[in-house]
Chains A and B, each alone.
Chain A
Amino acid sequence: MSILRLFTRSARRSAPAARERLQVLLAHERASTGSDLTAILREEILAVIAKHVQLDGDRVTVKVDRDENVSILEIDVEIPLDAARAA
């Protein structure tokens, strides 16, 4: 079994990986022509936070991971203790 696995691993082809990556990427790009939902959410969420906290670009990290069926939007905002008063 382990020998077989070793063999199939060494014979693994790169084209299926290319195909899958393209399918995921193009599905997202086609779906987002005109309106990119994660971009809209990102802007609106940041706008809401900015109403209450003085947003400092250096203290905001936005990450996206577009997967086959879902996208993960991750927004990290550092909120200093005195931020609420400052805003």
Chain B
Amino acid sequence: MGKVIVVTSGKGGVGKTTSTAALGAALAQRNEKVAVVDFDVGLRNLDLVMGAERRVVYDLVNVINGDAKLPQALIRDKRLDTLFLLPASQTRDKDALTEEGVERVIGELKRYFDWVICDSPAGIEKGATLAMRHADVAVVVTNPEVSSVRDSDRIIGMLDSKTLKAENGERMEKHLLLTRYDSLRAERGDMLKVDDVLEILSIPLLGIIPESTDVLKASNLGAPVTLSDARSAPAQAYFEAARRLAGEIVPVTVPGEKRGIFGKLFGRKAA
């Protein structure tokens, strides 16, 4: 059975879709079968970031309603054989998602794939709660910025109360993915530092993605950054995060930070 990951944040625009695509492509490059699922019904964008927007035929709502079977709706990535996309519907609204329907689709995906990565919509309403409902692991995407950290805290609370795991009394595994991090500004004291965010949210760190022009370039081209420019700093950070998700112990480094500081960071607990 595959693992179900929800990529969530509460706040919009912090990098959920970018991170879903990048982590999905990074895991697929390890030769594991990956499905990325867009839960943002009505405002889909994962197809665009993955470069599959011209090929969408059926979507998540079609599969839930039985208009299409799951294999018909899955779009295979043109670059990676083991990477698949299940797009969201663009013409329906979030009420088209039903709890039973989502449960059935996720259950089916888990049988075929090693990883099912659910890209949550922003907000705390139905789309977001259904995206996290069946997750085994949550990746909380946060920017080093006050409103993002506050919304992440709210989402962590929901992960601990509104998911199936939480309702069954199990512990929900949660990881922090800090995106758009600028170590120079943090060093100068103009941006929250990694440790500040970790102390406030107190969940383990999955990775630090540096602020980078490579991320926008990748979305311009319609390729996950871990595919379009695998050697770039954000891609390297996503590859490391993917290895940690897969259970490897990889020490966390702050991208772009001076060498002398690495020693200090070595002691930091990885996810």
Q: How far is the CA of A2 from the CA of B54 in the complex (A)?
A: 33
Partner of B220, one of A15, A29, A64: A15
B56, CB-defined interface residue at 8 Å: yes
By a CB distance below 8 angstroms, the chain B residues around A64 are 54-57
B54 touches A65 (CB 8 A): yes
Number of A-B contacts (CB under 8 A): 46
CB closest residue in chain A, given B58? A62
A17, CB-defined interface residue at 8 Å: yes
A84, CB-defined interface residue at 8 Å: no
B72 touches A60 (CB 8 A): yes
A67, CB-defined interface residue at 8 Å: yes
Q: How far is the CA of A29 from the CA of B68 in the complex (A)?
A: 21
CB closest residue in chain A, given B62? A39
A25, CB-defined interface residue at 8 Å: yes
Contact mask B47-71 → A, CB, 8 Å, 1/0?
A: 0100101111110000000001101
Interface residues on A, range: 20 to 34
A21 touches B55 (CB 8 A): no
By a CB distance below 8 angstroms, the chain A residues around B69 are 57-58
Q: How far is the CA of A12 from the CA of B52 in the complex (A)?
A: 22
A15, A57, A61, most chain B CB atoms within 10 A: A57
Partner of B221, one of A17, A36, A66: A17
By a CB distance below 8 angstroms, the chain A residues around B222 are 17, 21
A63, CB-defined interface residue at 8 Å: yes
Given the contacts A14-B217, A14-B221, A29-B90, A21 and B53 also touching, CB distance less than 8 Å: yes
Subset of 7 A-B contacts with CB under 8 Å: A18-B219, A21-B51, A57-B68, A58-B69, A63-B55, A65-B54, A66-B55
| For the complex of A and B, 8 pairs with smallest distance between CB atoms | A18-B220, A14-B220, A57-B69, A66-B54, A14-B217, A64-B57, A62-B57, A25-B53
Give 18 new A-B contacts, CB below 8 A, not counting A25-B53, A64-B56: A14-B217, A14-B218, A15-B220, A17-B221, A17-B222, A18-B219, A18-B220, A18-B221, A21-B48, A21-B222, A25-B54, A36-B91, A57-B69, A58-B69, A60-B72, A63-B55, A64-B54, A66-B53
